[in-house]
Amino acid sequence: MPSNILGSNFALQSFGESHGKCIGAVVDGCPAGLKLSEGDIQPMLDLRKPGQSNITTQRKEADTVNILSGVFEGYTTGAPICMIIWNTDSDSRSYEEFRTKPRPGHADYTGFVKYGGFNDYRGSGRFSGRLTATIVMGGAIALKILKNYLNVEIISYTKSIGSIDLDTRNISFNTLLSERYTNDVRCPDSAVSAKMKEEILSARRDGDSLGGIIECIVKGVPVGLGEPIFESIESEISKGLFSIPAVKGVEFGSGFSGTTMRGSINNDSFIINKDDGSIMTKSNNSGGILGGITDGMPLIFRIAFKPAASIPKTQKTVNLKDMKESDLIVTGRHDPCVVPRAPPVVDSIVGIILLDNCVKANMIPRVLK
């Protein structure tokens, strides 16, 4: 399958470059009969767009989505849905130097070698975080279907920035859902979010950057999603998440901390749900997945983002023209930390993967009513 397509039954194809004319997405496999307009997609894009605070890039893009096909008289037709966003505030001047002097931590060098120097280097081209907007376009559609037809709820939020970590043990799902977008950092705790913001601003004042962790919880997931062994639900989710620039790690349930437990502690005992008589587990160290298949418990996983690579400090590189070592200072408009803009992107990736698997399992019909 081509590398710019995510999913198979419900599939998203991403196109465009950071400083090109436009970026966009084509969604294929969306059921017919879904009430859909730009108003269903724009709110998700607004949560991700740049220039919203002093802890994000100051590139100003409205990120206004236009639906070009696949919707007629307010409903999806079953045909491919093509959506675009026009780029209006790109400034490529500072990127000319990076054509021959690859930036540390970026794909300038690997892209140059892989594509023989023909890759669009402006704004990082296809490697830019701007392309996550194309994921959000398709994700907004997937999230609407999952919520309205299967009552699946996906929430991602900032769990840590640098050394500042949110303790979620006593925070309810509803609080996480209602409070995560009440501040610039997208952390559902005002006191912790203030510390996180100051941590980011401190790094920016030092000409540096920070990374962090996004946690995602999915409630209402049906039992049985996932196709072992090479298309297990963890494999599919992880593949999607690693397509987000700056993602360097994914862990499910107890994750790496589970390696310090004994099996008697890490195992999740099965019990009967007293509310509806269904089978559930007493704990959820598995993160809602057993044998690569969803078990009906909430999916819980965390995504590690590296520090933003573009920093205005002197760094070492190699000039590809004369093959000599050189100094480089990255100028331009960049995020000091990409984590605060990541929750809607994570939600979208997970939504696309889960809906794709629901369609595969015949849980979603070809025509919605």
**Tens place of pLDDT per residue across the chain (369 aa):** 679 999 999 999 999 998 989 999 999 999 999 999 999 999 999 999 866 667 766 666 788 999 999 999 999 999 999 999 998 877 777 788 888 899 999 999 999 999 999 998 888 889 898 999 999 999 999 999 999 999 999 999 999 999 999 999 889 999 999 999 999 999 999 999 999 999 999 999 999 999 999 999 999 999 999 999 999 999 999 999 999 999 999 999 999 999 999 999 999 999 999 999 999 999 999 999 999 999 999 999 999 999 999 999 999 999 999 999 999 898 877 889 999 999 999 999 999 999 999 999 999 999 998
> Amino acid identity, residue 228?
P
pLDDT at 163: 95
B/e letters for 15-25, b = 16+ CB within 10 Å, e = fewer, are bbbbbbeebbb
Element (H, E) at 233: helix 233-241
pLDDT at 1: 66
Domain extent listing, the chain: 5-253+288-358
pLDDT at 194: 96
pLDDT at 262: 96
Q: Are strands 11-16 and 5-6 parallel, antiparallel or unpaired?
A: antiparallel
- Closest of 8, 4, 5 to residue 357, by C-alpha: 8
pLDDT at 284: 97
Instruction: Name residues whose C-beta falls within 8 Å of residue 72's C-beta, 6 or more positions apart in sequence.
Output: none
pLDDT at 107: 92
H helices of 33-172, in order, are 38-48, 108-114, 132-150
Look up tokens 């919203």; give the residue.
Answer: 52
Please indicate, yes or no, whether the overall pTM of this predicted structure exceeds 0.75. Answer: yes
Instruction: Name residues whose C-beta falls within 8 Å of residue 33's C-beta, 6 or more positions apart in sequence.
Output: 75, 76, 367, 368, 369
pLDDT at 2: 78
So what CATH class is 5-253+288-358?
alpha beta
